[in-house]
């Protein structure tokens, strides 16, 4: 995988000596640096370029997070089963450029690749929240507004996060990635408290739709290495893409994934159909005119997102879930952004409440404390 190289580094005045800034500058000694005033972010965001979203990724801004870090996963939508996941974002936007990525719409007006320097605020916020409810098991992920690891060779955030979460007994950190940037992770002992998870799609989809990501084989090699280093791994078949050879593609992908790692140390597997708002479809069509993602039999659902129509979607879920069950019988499976009735059709039961899903995912890890 090609490592990210920004065209310019922008540093908000006052943040010049933040540890992450010093690390990044030491690792990119040739990259031009500009000090910018706080609050200039909007002015710095490219807006008039033909593809301002792509332009935003080429400049790296170091700034402070001025609101809270810890949030509920925004996938929790009324009428859909939620897994009670929490997210923290140290980075906003992503060096990769998947044709289906929701950030194209979500960050359209603010596409600069931003790195938040105040990691200590994140850790103290998380500590306060999880210590307040010591009986509860939390799952917290960093992969919502960016890839969790793609910038790690540059920023080294794993050195801040893994040792911190390794000491917390009632929280699992999930690092979600499509990269193979795991070198720094190997230096730390996760103490069973960190799950490194990969988004997986069949290699043909990786090549055509997931631009700038690690290849399918590179992801699996990386998963093998982190598992050997004591990390649990996870797999997300999300988005599930309906394309003419989907059965063959996903069957092979599952077989390869579970022969690369020890299935007994796979913390969880998720399934989630490709879902796009009308605005995201329009953006993807404009930015990636050759994408075949939009050619599946997708229809507009009640939550305002396009998905593969239900009968076909359920068939895909059932088929893939059965292959997963065969490959990793003990590994919990869950679905993202689906109705209780779809859960019922696929798994034969629907969770009574959000806590049920969260408990199913965290329970096996409580036993290992």
Partner 1 sequence: MMNDERYDIADQVTAYAREKRLSPQTVARWQAWTVPDQAALWELVQVLQLGENHLRDFLDWCEEIMLRDGGSIAALLARTELRRPLTAQLGRNDKLKAVKEGLRKIRYPRLSQLEDELRAAVKALDLGGRVQVSFPPSLEGEDITIEIKARNAKELSEQLTRLHQRLEDGAVLRLFTLLDQV
| Contacting residues toward partner 1, per CB under 8 A | 244, 285, 290-292, 294-297, 299-302, 307, 309-312, 314-315, 341, 345
Rounded Cα distance between 163 and 165, Å, is 6
* Angle ∠(327,330,336) on CA atoms, nearest 5: 85
Q: Which is nearer to partner 1, 191 or 310 (CB)?
A: 310
Least Å distance between CB 315 and partner 1? 6
Q: Which is nearer to partner 1, 149 or 336 (CB)?
A: 336
Rounded Cα distance between 338 and 219, Å, is 27
Determine contact, residues 224/257, Cβ cutoff 8 Å: no
Q: Which is nearer to partner 1, 109 or 295 (CB)?
A: 295
Least Å distance between CB 244 and partner 1? 7
Least Å distance between CB 124 and partner 1? 44
Least Å distance between CB 200 and partner 1? 23
Rounded Cα distance between 289 and 297, Å, is 18
Rounded Cα distance between 340 and 81, Å, is 6
Q: Which is nearer to partner 1, 55 or 340 (CB)?
A: 340
Least Å distance between CB 263 and partner 1? 30
Rounded Cα distance between 261 and 239, Å, is 21
Determine contact, residues 57/94, Cβ cutoff 8 Å: yes
Rounded Cα distance between 273 and 313, Å, is 7
Read off the tokens for 90. 């140290």
Least Å distance between CB 345 and partner 1? 7
Least Å distance between CB 291 and partner 1? 7
Q: Which is nearer to partner 1, 199 or 308 (CB)?
A: 308
Q: Which is nearer to partner 1, 329 or 348 (CB)?
A: 348
Least Å distance between CB 79 and partner 1? 11
Q: Which is nearer to partner 1, 253 or 346 (CB)?
A: 346
Q: Which is nearer to partner 1, 154 or 314 (CB)?
A: 314
Rg (alpha carbons) of the chain, rounded to whole number? 20
Determine contact, residues 115/60, Cβ cutoff 8 Å: yes
Helix (H) or strand (E) holding 62: strand 59-63
Own/partner contacts of 356-359, CB < 8 Å, gap of 24 or more, are 357/81, 357/82, 357/83, 357/84, 358/83, 358/84, 358/85, 358/137, 358/139, 359/137
């Amino acid at each position: 995988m090609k490592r990210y190289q920004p065209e310019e580094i922008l540093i908000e005045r006052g943040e010049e000596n933040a540890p992450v800034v010093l690390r990044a500058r030491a690792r990119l000694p040739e990259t031009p640096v500009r000090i910018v005033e706080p609050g200039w972010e909007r002015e710095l965001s490219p807006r008039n370029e033909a593809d301002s979203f792509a332009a935003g990724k080429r400049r790296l801004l170091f700034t402070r997070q001025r609101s809270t870090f810890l949030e509920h996963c925004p996938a929790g939508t009324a009428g859909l089963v939620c897994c009670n996941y929490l997210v923290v974002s140290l980075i906003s936007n992503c060096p990769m450029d998947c044709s289906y990525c929701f950030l194209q719409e979500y960050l359209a007006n603010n596409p600069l690749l931003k790195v938040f320097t105040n990691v200590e605020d994140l850790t103290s916020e998380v500590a306060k929240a999880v210590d307040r409810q010591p009986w509860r098991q939390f799952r917290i992920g960093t992969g919502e507004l960016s890839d969790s690891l793609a910038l790690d060779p540059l920023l080294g955030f794993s050195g801040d996060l893994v040792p911190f979460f390794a000491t917390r007994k009632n929280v699992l950190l999930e690092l979600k990635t499509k990269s193979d940037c795991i070198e720094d992770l190997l230096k730390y002992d996760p103490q069973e408290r960190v799950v490194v998870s990969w988004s997986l799609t069949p290699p043909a989809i990786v090549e055509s739709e997931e631009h700038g990501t690690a290849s399918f084989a590179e992801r699996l090699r990386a998963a093998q290495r982190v598992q050997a280093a004591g990390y649990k791994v996870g797999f997300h078949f999300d988005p599930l893409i309906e394309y003419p050879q989907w059965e063959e593609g996903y069957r092979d992908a599952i077989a390869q994934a579970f022969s690369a790692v020890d299935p007994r140390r796979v913390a969880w597997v998720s399934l989630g159909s490709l879902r796009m708002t009308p605005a995201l479809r329009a953006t993807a069509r404009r930015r990636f005119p050759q994408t075949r993602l939009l050619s599946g039999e997708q229809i507009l659902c009640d939550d305002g997102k396009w998905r593969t129509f239900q009968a076909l979607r359920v068939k895909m879920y059932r088929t893939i879930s059965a292959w997963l069950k065969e490959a990793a019988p003990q590994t919990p499976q869950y679905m993202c952004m689906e109705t209780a009735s779809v859960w019922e059709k696929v798994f034969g039961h629907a969770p009574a409440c959000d806590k049920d899903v969260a408990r199913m995912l965290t329970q096996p890890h409580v036993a290992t404390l």
